[in-house]
C-alpha cells in the first residue's frame, strides 16, 4: 500500500496545467493579514468540463518549528457545465481559483493541493518570510 504522500504529483506550473499556483507575498509583516491566491492554468489552461475539471483546492500553512501544518482554506468548484440536459449543456462554470486572507507571527511554508477528477492529486509549495 502506498503512503498518502506518494499519491501527490508535482511539476513546474509553467508546463503542467494541474499544478496549483500559490500567489502571495514572499515576505509579510508579523500579525498583519495578507492575501493568498491559488489558481491553476496560469500558463497552460486546464479544461473545465463535466468530464475533466478541478474539484477542489486546499491551502495549508506550516509555521517554522511547529509540528503540524494548519489548514487555511478549502475551495470547492461545483459547476462544470452539467445540467439536466446532459454534460456541458449549462452556461454555468466555476473557475478554479480562489483568494483567502491570513496572518501569522512565524515564517513557514504555504502548501496547495488540488484534485483533478481524472489526473488525481497535485501539490505545490512556497516559503513565506515574516518581517
Active site residues: 16-18, 46, 52, 116, 119
Find where cell 505545490 sits: 124
Please state, in angstroms and rounded to a whole number, the distance separating the CA atoms of residues 66 and 112.
18
Please state, in angstroms and rounded to a whole number, the distance separating the CA atoms of residues 109 and 116.
23
The H or E element containing residue 23 is strand 21-23
Amino acid at each position: 500500500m502506498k503512503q498518502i504522500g506518494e499519491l501527490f504529483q508535482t511539476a513546474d506550473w509553467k508546463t503542467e496545467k494541474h499544478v496549483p499556483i500559490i500567489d502571495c507575498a514572499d515576505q509579510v509583516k508579523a500579525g498583519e493579514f495578507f492575501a493568498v491566491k491559488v489558481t491553476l492554468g496560469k500558463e497552460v489552461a486546464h479544461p473545465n468540463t463535466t468530464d475533466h475539471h478541478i474539484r477542489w483546492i486546499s491551502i495549508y500553512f506550516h509555521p517554522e518549528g511547529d509540528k503540524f501544518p494548519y489548514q487555511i482554506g478549502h475551495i470547492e468548484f461545483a459547476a462544470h457545465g452539467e445540467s439536466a440536459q446532459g454534460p456541458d449543456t449549462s452556461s454555468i462554470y466555476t473557475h478554479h481559483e480562489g483568494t483567502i486572507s491570513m496572518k501569522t507571527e512565524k515564517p513557514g511554508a504555504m502548501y496547495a493541493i488540488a484534485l483533478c477528477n481524472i489526473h488525481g492529486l497535485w501539490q505545490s509549495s512556497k516559503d513565506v518570510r515574516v518581517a
